[in-house]
Structure 1
Amino acid sequence: MKNWWIVVLGVIFGLLGAGIIYLASQPPRGNPIALLPPPTPIPFQVHISGAVINPGVHALPPGSRVQDAIEAAGGFTPQADSSGLNLAALLEDGTRVLVPSQIPTATPAPTREPNPQSPQNQNPTSIPAATSSTPLININTASQPELETLSGIGPATALKIIAFRQENGYFSSIEEIQKVSGIGPATFEKIKAFITVDEQP
């Protein structure tokens, strides 16, 4: 009886071993399952301009923010004004980031009260009024140096005055000096308060 169980167990184990050998010798069925690596993220392009060290188009990975774009451009320049930028904003492909520059505040120039004694504040066409202490120049008897002290009268004009009175006699009025070549109404207005044809007391 005992030998019979041994024979039965031997047959069972023999069948199991034969089945395993058969299955192992069969070619695999279907396509093998391959484990693929995760896809590589494709970077996108962002245009960074304004007050950054390296402005231009930079490639950034998906999920980048404005702060990442600034760092890709080398950071802010000293003149950059980042107060209006949202550094945490997400970026998309083709986004442009403009970093503005600070606007310098103009410092007003100090003002000074005008100096009435300064030549720039004096009217060049104004004629100083004659005072009682200012001696009048007699155009009938004045020498060339005396005539040249008058405004607008140079050496040539002074000689013309002397030549005119030598040829035509003394001036009967100060207005007649305008008959001298080179002395017009403008020059006469400058000198009329300083000339005379009468002898001074």
Structure 2
Amino acid sequence: MNQSTQQQSKKESRPDLFYLALAVLFGFGVGGLILILNKRPKLEPIQILPTTTPVLMAVHVSGAVQKPGVIYVARDTRIGEVIDEAGGFSVDADQDSLNLAAYVYDGQRIHVPSLTEVSVQPLEDQDESFSYPININHCSVDDLISLPGIGETKAAAIIKYREANGGFTTVEDILNVSGIGPSIFSDIKELITVK
């Protein structure tokens, strides 16, 4: 009986050895696969940067400058920089007639008067009537004050918005100005333009 027990024990241990060997091989296979996967180079995401090409604006410079004409400048350019691009002031330019620190906007015309240019009418004799519609991209504070519901504070806010944002693209853009609401807009919308 002792011999048959030994034979039976040998038969039972053979499948155990087989499964043990299979488990060891499986472990080596998984371990090798992990090593292979860890040795592959890690891919880093590609970062797409925005283009740095500035959008150019056309500004017409005329009058007492060295090279009058159309100048192409980037957004956030000031009048003084445009005058420099036009070769600077001519010797007879009235350099104090312009705010050189103001921003320009696309399609703007900058006229540099000469010292010898005279106004058509003396200031006291000028007619107070304005021609409507007024272009809110080119008008003065006085032009804006002539509009119903617009005083000095709102006119200054409109000019400030215009200079900070490169002008208005539609008349409805004036609603973005602090203090201009739908009520005022309905009163002035027929009296203003952006063209």
TM-score (norm 1): 0.39
Larger Rg: 1
The structure richer in helix per residue is 2
